[in-house]
Amino acid sequence: MIAGSQQLGLSLASCKSLIHIFRMQRKDLSDDKCPVARTLDRVGDWWSMLIIRDAGFGLSRFDQFQESLGIAPNMLTRRLATLVETGFLERRAYSERPPRYEYVLTKKGRDFRPVLEALKAFGEEHYPKPKTKRA
Amino acid sequence: MIAGSQQLGLSLASCKSLIHIFRMQRKDLSDDKCPVARTLDRVGDWWSMLIIRDAGFGLSRFDQFQESLGIAPNMLTRRLATLVETGFLERRAYSERPPRYEYVLTKKGRDFRPVLEALKAFGEEHYPKPKTKRA
């Protein structure tokens, strides 16, 4: 009935979000039947994914993330809070006076690595390394 | 120097976007050194990823995507145009009178499958299937 339904193969076929065919204007995907949608609902913006990536490189402090990503402070504050709330990062005090916090990957955050690896492989194939502007 | 730099392992270590440490307020990541960032720059919102997922299930027509995702028509129009422009989908006429188009995955779109597979595996582990509200 649906042409090309094998394009992404059987292993994704259990993910039948298409059966929500009468559910219009869906925004909240946190209870979606599809694990891809449930995951993207939590972490599906690139700031969040890049913060997880940088945390994987060992960045842990607010200013390190900000310098690496060039993200606006209020945006970074919000993303870090969400990543703590959703369990990807743990917030730890590393100084009492003055109070200072760092953000480190939880097990869940580390478990996100295969997604980043897959994005990396895709990017290497389809978006080859740009030439250095100042060689 | 940077604690925990092995958290995501060596294979991601070539992705040194952290060296852009003096580049503030970065928004356009299409020329980033990191293939993860370059990929997310093109496809890093969950609507795009879910459209690619649905195209992999064989959905191809505007109304099918809209019904599956519950996405606003103007949003869907924009996302489909971007996915065609960035080479993930191909737009094909399937009717001349009236003119009608369908959207099918290109090779590049199909190559995105490992990312979706990784998101699926992560979601299955960390966001277990929600209980059906009407059992």
- pLDDT value, residue A12: 45
Interval B23-35: pLDDT, tens: 223 357 777 888 8
Domain ranges of chain B: 29-126
Interval B37-57: pLDDT, tens: 888 877 767 788 899 999 999
- Chain A residues with beta carbon closer than 8 angstroms to that of B5: 57-58
Residue whose structure tokens are 């995955």: B105
* Cβ–Cβ < 8 Å for A34, A15: yes
Q: Considering only the beta carbons, identify the residue of B26, B68, B118 that sits closest to A115.
A: B118
Number of residue pairs across A and B with CB atoms under 8 Å? 255
Residue to mutate among A5, A36, A43, with most B CBs inside 10 A, is A36
Contact A130 B33 (CB under 8 A): yes
- pLDDT value, residue A5: 39
- pLDDT value, residue A7: 42
Alpha-carbon gap: A109 to the closest alpha carbon of chain B (Å): 10
In chain B, the residue whose alpha carbon lies closest to the alpha carbon of A131 is B31
pTM assigned to the model: 0.76
Alpha-carbon gap: B104 to the closest alpha carbon of chain A (Å): 9
CA distance A27 to B41: 22
Give domain A28-126's CATH number out of 1.20.1510.10, 3.90.1150.10, 1.10.10.10, 2.40.50.100: 1.10.10.10
- Chain B residues with beta carbon closer than 8 angstroms to that of A58: 2-7
Range B77-115 burial, b when 16+ CB lie within 10 A, else e: eebbebbeebebbbeeeeeeeeeeebbbbbebbbebbeb
For domain B29-126, which architecture applies? Answer: Orthogonal Bundle (1.10)
| Residue B125: other Cβ atoms inside 10 A | 12
